[in-house]
A and B are shown apart, each in its own frame.
Chain A
Amino acid sequence: MNKLTVKKNKSEIIYDSSVEDSKHISVKNKYDLFINGKWVKAKKYFKTINPSNEEVLSEVAFADKSDVNKAVSSAKNSFEKYWKKTKPTDRGKYLFRIARILQEKAREFSVIESLDGGKPIRESKSIDIPLAISHFFYYAGWADKLEYISRSSKPEPIGVAGQIIPWNFPLLMAAWKIAPAIACGNTVVIKSAETTPLTLYKLAEIIQEAEVPDGVVNIISGDGKTGSYIVDNPNINKIAFTGSTEVGKNIMKSIAGTDKKLTLELGGKAANIIFEDAPIDAAVEGIINGIYFNQGHVCCAGSRLLVQENIANLVIKKLKSRMNYLRVGNPLDKNTDIGAINSKSQLKKITELVESGIKEGANIYQPNCELPAKGYFFKPTFFSNVSQAHRIANEEIFGPVLSIITFRTPKEAIEKANNTCYGLSAGIWTSKGSKVFEVLKQLKAGVIWANTFNKFNPASPFGGFKESGFGREGGVHGLLPYLKN
């Protein structure tokens, strides 16, 4: 019998690299601001890089106060002049157009999303881009049916929405925000995150191609300051923010006393609860998907694993062996499971919190995998022996780091799960249906998954309790914050 000579590590055969082709994409060297349907020059530009190799991808405009004012007046102007008078079916038509063009360009968008943000191409291809598309399709359908969900027979839009989105799911977050806003007849000024501006400017090209009236969607880029100019602009009627709890609090302070409406989708420290009667192999997959999906840059990540004490050793053993099969590396390789950390500063934050975990005496585990020499990478990590009193059990790490806490009874699990300032999501793993419902009633979390984790659908509302924010995005609930009545 012939024996094979193949590359292997200590546990498995290594696959040859299978890198997604990126020759077909078109990224300009420089992106201006997209205001009133035109590309508008800014005074300053900044570089956006590929976090997996630190190479510059493009330069984008930095919007200062006058640029923001320009964008907001363009949005206000187009709202007053025609968008609020546009027939609902026409608003739907434009959204359908955006969705369809995006669908045609899905491959290009997937590659750019992975280049700019560092996420594995497998995820941008199968989750980010298709979900963004389905949000546009979903809300396109609602545009002419709003009277069925509003208290009024003539639902009215609010006006100009200022939207600020994070860097973990750039295009998807833009879709979450733009689609319901314009379906309801609002106009939009949206700011991309500092490290991931590219797919939003590509979306601007689609908006032009779809012939959406000028000024209905204005897309700008910049840093936190730019965001604060949007928040403070008196012509903004509604703010939708997704990002850190700290910034969310600042936004609330600065709009106090105004009649601006607000929805916030902030941080999380979700409990993923594994009961003794859970299907353990599926639960281990759920743990992996819960915390290592998108390098853990997920606000609803299952970053606290609550596992019943009598099965903790078994679960940890299985988790360890499963982690040996995780592939960390080039985000464009189709077999990569964990890509690059989004930015240098995020890598620093993760490293700092992991060091605190070690210092505070928790047991760290990292699989024996090699990281690329260049770029920002972090090994998938978990801490066992963590108690509620550890920093890593309380603070949002926003990286591939899991804290494992044990519990003895369902009551204790619920208490520990709720013992956090956040309340965005949670997971329950048990083979008993009745236990699922008994536990979920008592969890203070906006999204709860049973025997699965990190599943999204445009028809299902998403949002948090406590310091994870308020207001819902997605589904019918996602339309209501954009309607006056």
Chain B
Amino acid sequence: MNKLSVFLKEFQNPVDEIGTKERASFLASRSIKNQTKIDFIKLAVSMIDLTTLEGKDSSGKVYSICQKAKFPLAGDESIGPVAAVCVYPNMISDAAKFLDGTGIHLASVATGFPSGQYPLKLKIEDTINAIESGADEIDMVISRGKFLEGDYEYVFNEIKLIKETCIQTSQKLSAKKKTEINVHLKVILETGELETYDNVRIASFIAMFAGADFIKTSTGKIQPAATLPVTLVMLEAIRDFYNETGILIGMKPAGGIRTTKEAISYLVLLNETLGYKWMNNDMFRIGASSLLNDLLMQYKKQVTGYYQSSDYYTID
């Protein structure tokens, strides 16, 4: 047996679908009120990877999303900025320019997003290009076809190679620019295509063992994208991995999270599965775009006691 199968065997434990859904919906029913609600809304905003991943993305669109990332609530700096902006590789250099000096991270999807059905050579090149263009976070996709074929070794090696590429390219770039660059790797499992929770758990461990800094649910291009139960399964995998190795892995649910209520449910799940160490944007991100304005609207409601019309929130 090779190292990977020994490792997977150690964590092989069936996931009960009904039990997982029950636990997730129980946690979602927690009553988050008053100051905790304000705290959680602010936290959620600070965890957002503000995302635009469309064929029609242009320099103008990226400019406005970067502005929104910096100042989510125009004229009110008590909330924000978001954690990162997430774009396609061709948009990185524009985004890097707009975000320069803000401390906001720049994430790029890579490795033949969203399908991942490209030769490994191109995936590596895609990654190098993204980092050299200015991304400091890479959101890669796994090869779901290979995973479902049962070729875990391939999936593992691919992630490992991309991770090594991230490290090497960071080092090269650090030397060149004489600043510390440390590119983080988020591994997208595309749970909607893996379908079963058992698959999600196995894929989570393959990704963590191969060197992922974050594991992420979805591309946003496949339904269902992020759900509470699937996130719970991944959080439990992160917890078990941490208990065994002492390594903290981050989590990013992405796609389909649109309301404050949902975002708060995700934070409750996180709080009561992994705890305080993960309740920050170094360890948890939410991939979203329309969620941000709902969070801002609820934030204003909590602070002032009144709902404002949606016209008060910028649409960038």
Contacts and interface: CB of A to CB of B under 8 A. Distances in A.
Contacts of B46: 1-2
Contacts of B276: 8, 10-13
Contacts of A3: 280
B19 interface: yes
Contacts of B243: 317
A335 B271 CA distance: 13
B36 A280 contact: no
B237 to A, nearest CB: 10
A279 B31 contact: no
A277 interface: yes
B40 to A, nearest CB: 8
Given A1-B46, A18-B33, A279-B19, A13 B279 contact: yes
Nearest to B277: A11
A285 B34 contact: no
Contact of A285 (B23, B31, B83, B275): B23
Interface in A251-272: none
Prevailing SS type, chain A contact patch: loop
Nearest to B79: A2
B39 A11 contact: no
Contact of B15 (A1, A279, A286): A279
Contact of A335 (B15, B30, B35): B30
Given A286-B19, A452-B19, A6 B275 contact: no
Nearest to A8: B276
B19 A13 contact: no
Contacts of A334: 30-31
Of the candidates B16, B29, B83, B272, the one having the most CB atoms from chain A within 10 angstroms of its own CB is B16
A148 interface: no
Nearest to A276: B13
Given A1-B281, A4-B42, A451-B18, A16 B13 contact: no
A451 B30 contact: no
Nearest to B104: A1
Contacts, number: 83
Given A277-B14, A281-B15, A452-B19, A4 B39 contact: yes
A282 interface: yes
A282 B33 contact: no
A454 to B, nearest CB: 12
Of the candidates B30, B31, B32, B46, the one having the most CB atoms from chain A within 10 angstroms of its own CB is B31
Contacts of A278: 14
B288 to A, nearest CB: 18
A279 B30 contact: no
A282 B275 contact: no
A12 B36 contact: no
B16 A16 contact: no
Contacts of A10: 276
A373 to B, nearest CB: 23
B36 A451 contact: no
Contacts of A282: 15-16, 18-20, 23
A335 B36 CA distance: 13
A317 to B, nearest CB: 8
B262 interface: no
Interface in A38-57: none
A280 B14 CA distance: 8
A12 B271 contact: yes
A11 B275 CA distance: 5
A2 B82 CA distance: 10
B145 interface: no
A431 interface: yes
B203 interface: no
B271 A452 contact: no
A437 interface: no
A285 B19 contact: yes
A277 B16 CA distance: 11
B236 interface: yes
Contacts of B19: 279, 281-282, 285-286, 451-452
Contacts of A1: 46, 81, 83, 103, 281
A279 to B, nearest CB: 4
A12 B18 contact: no
Contacts of B225: none
A431 B14 contact: yes
A122 B29 CA distance: 9
B36 A16 contact: yes
Given A2-B46, A4-B42, A285-B23, A15 B32 contact: yes
Given A4-B39, A18-B32, A335-B31, A279 B16 contact: yes
Contacts of B13: 279-281
Interface in B270-296: 271-272, 275-276, 279-281
Interface of A: 1-4, 6, 8, 10-18, 122, 277-282, 285-286, 317, 325, 334-335, 431, 451-452
Interface of B: 13-16, 18-20, 22-23, 29-37, 39, 42-43, 46, 81, 83, 103, 236, 243, 271-272, 275-276, 279-281
8 contacts: A6-B39, A11-B276, A12-B271, A13-B39, A15-B33, A18-B31, A18-B34, A431-B16
